[in-house]
Each structure stands twice: as C-alpha cells, then as structure tokens.
C-alpha cells in the first residue's frame, strides 16, 4: 500500500521574487535577443534579395549582349545580303560596306570640327560616281574601243580587238603626256629628262586602257562606280580633315573665352573698388 501523505509536513517555500534591477536586466537581455533575431532575419533576407538582384542583373546583361550581337549580325548580314542581291557577290557588300563606314566616320569628324568644303567635295564625288555608273554600267568604253578597233585594227580577232585597241590607244596617249610632263620638270631641274615620264605614262596608259576595255555589265559596273565614288569621298574628306582643321580655331571653340574675360574684368573692377589696394 502507498503511504498516506503526512498532513503535518511543512509546504515548500515560495521562490524569492526578483529585484527591480534583475527585472531590468532580464528585460534588456530579452530586447537585445529580439533585436538580434530581427537583424539576423534581415541579413538573411538581404542576402537572398542580393542574390536575386545579382541574378536579374546578370541575366539582363546577357540579354543586352544577345540583342547587341543580333543587331551586329543583322547589320553585317544585311550588308553582305545586299552585296549578293544587288551586285551578285558578298565581296561587293563587304568592300562597299567598309568604304561606306569609313566615309560616314570621316563625315562625322568633319562635322564635329566644322571643316569647310565638305559639301563641295561630296557633290564632286557624287557626280563623278553617277557618271562612272553610266559609263561602266553600260560598258560605253568597251563599245567605244570596239568601234575604234574595227577601223584601226580590222585584222585582229573581234573578241580581243577592244582590249588591244584600248591598250594601244591609251598607252600612246599616256606616253605623250608623260613625255611632256617629264620634259617640263626637266626644264626646271626637277628631273633628268623626259624618259622617265614617257615610260611611266606608257605603262599607266596601257594599264588604264586595258582596264577600260573590260565589259563589266550593269551589276559589276555600277558596283565599281559606287566603290570609286566612296573612295573619292574618303580621299577628299580625308584631305579636308588634314588641311582644313585649324588647331587654334578648335581650341577657341572649347575654351570659355567670354567667361574668362568677364572674370578678369570683374577682378580688376573689384581691385579698383578696394580702398586699401594699390593706387595707380
């Protein structure tokens, strides 16, 4: 049997109540623990948010890079496609595209420095390109040498007659021009004689005559005319960039001369108003 409780036993004493300072310390410790818990939670959330931000920024940069490559691919591919479609070869697209970008860059440089004469040079190059497009696209020089060759060289086979005629005629013209120029410079003591000029004119005339006798056809002729036109643009605008740019004028544009002069005048006026300043 379980023993019965002793009714005479004394009850356990109640725990001693905490003092005021102990309660304050306990409250402070609880508050600090709560603040630390909130800080730890905030840190954990900020790390998670920072990871999401980094992921989003990385993916955004990747998307921008893909779009940039897409635009570059469309640009380069478009130039090559136009070269193949219009002129029959992607080489034309690559060559003309490089020339066009060079011309655009030079035009921006000239516009930035405000060099004069750019419009006149552009009109000259444009008109030259149009004339060459008609001449080369319609093979007018080949037709000319064909007609002249029929009269001058009737015994030569018709297929090579334009080439032979153009080479011969232009070589003779180049020889005469080179001889005249060489003798002129020899007169002023700038050359030993007209032989060098005559030889150079003969060689250059023969090469140009052979080139002019080619029947390019509409596609290649217009492509070549456009290439020459863009080359003239680049050459004339490049020459303008070298000769028309004045460093002193550029310096004046980028220096606040009016502000500097006004400031100097104000300083001089202030000196004159100072009664303790030097009297002149």
Query: What tens-digit pLDDT sequence spans the chain (280 residues)?
Result: 455 555 544 555 555 555 667 777 777 777 888 888 888 888 888 888 888 888 899 999 999 999 999 999 998 888 888 888 888 888 888 888 888 888 888 888 887 777 767 778 788 888 888 998 888 888 888 889 888 888 888 878 888 888 888 889 988 898 888 888 877 776 555 545 556 777 888 888 889 888 888 888 888 888 888 998 989 888 888 777 777 666 777 677 777 777 887 888 888 887 777 655 555 4
Per-residue confidence (pLDDT) for residue 30, from 0 to 100: 79
What the block records as the tokens of 93 is: 């697209």
Per-residue confidence (pLDDT) for residue 195, from 0 to 100: 67
Per-residue confidence (pLDDT) for residue 5, from 0 to 100: 52
Strand segments (E) across the chain: none
In terms of Cβ atoms closer than 10 Å to its own Cβ (0-12, 13-18, 19+), residue 201 is buried
Integer Cα distance of 220 and 92 in angstroms: 9
Among candidates 165, 166, 185, 189, which has minimal Cα distance to 177? Answer: 185
Residues in the chain: 280
Per-residue confidence (pLDDT) for residue 24, from 0 to 100: 75
């Amino acid at each position: 049997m379980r023993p019965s409780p002793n009714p005479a036993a004394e009850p356990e004493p109640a725990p001693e109540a905490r003092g005021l300072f102990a309660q304050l310390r306990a409250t402070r410790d609880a508050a600090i623990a709560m603040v630390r818990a909130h800080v730890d939670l905030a840190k954990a959330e900020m790390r998670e948010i920072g990871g999401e931000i980094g992921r989003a920024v990385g993916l955004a940069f990747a998307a921008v890079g893909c779009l940039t490559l897409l635009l570059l691919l469309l640009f380069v591919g478009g130039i090559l496609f136009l070269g193949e479609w219009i002129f029959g070869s992607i080489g034309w697209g690559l060559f003309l595209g490089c020339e066009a970008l060079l011309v655009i860059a030079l035009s921006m440089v000239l516009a930035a420095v405000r060099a004069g004469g750019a419009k006149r040079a552009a009109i000259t190059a444009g008109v030259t390109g149009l004339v060459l497009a008609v001449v080369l696209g319609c093979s007018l020089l080949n037709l000319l040498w064909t007609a002249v060759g029929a009269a001058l060289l009737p015994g030569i086979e018709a297929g090579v007659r334009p080439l032979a005629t153009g080479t011969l005629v232009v070589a003779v013209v180049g020889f005469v021009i080179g001889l005249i120029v060489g003798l002129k410079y020899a007169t002023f003591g700038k050359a030993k004689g007209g032989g060098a000029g005559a030889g150079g004119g003969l060689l250059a005339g023969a090469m140009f005559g052979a080139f002019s006798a080619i029947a390019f056809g509409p596609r290649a002729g217009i492509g070549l005319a456009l290439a020459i036109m863009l080359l003239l643009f680049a050459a004339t605008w490049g020459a303008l960039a070298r000769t028309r740019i004045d460093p002193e004028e550029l310096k004046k544009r980028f220096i606040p001369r009016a502000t500097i002069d006004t400031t100097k005048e104000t300083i001089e006026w202030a000196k004159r108003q100072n009664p303790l300043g030097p009297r002149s």
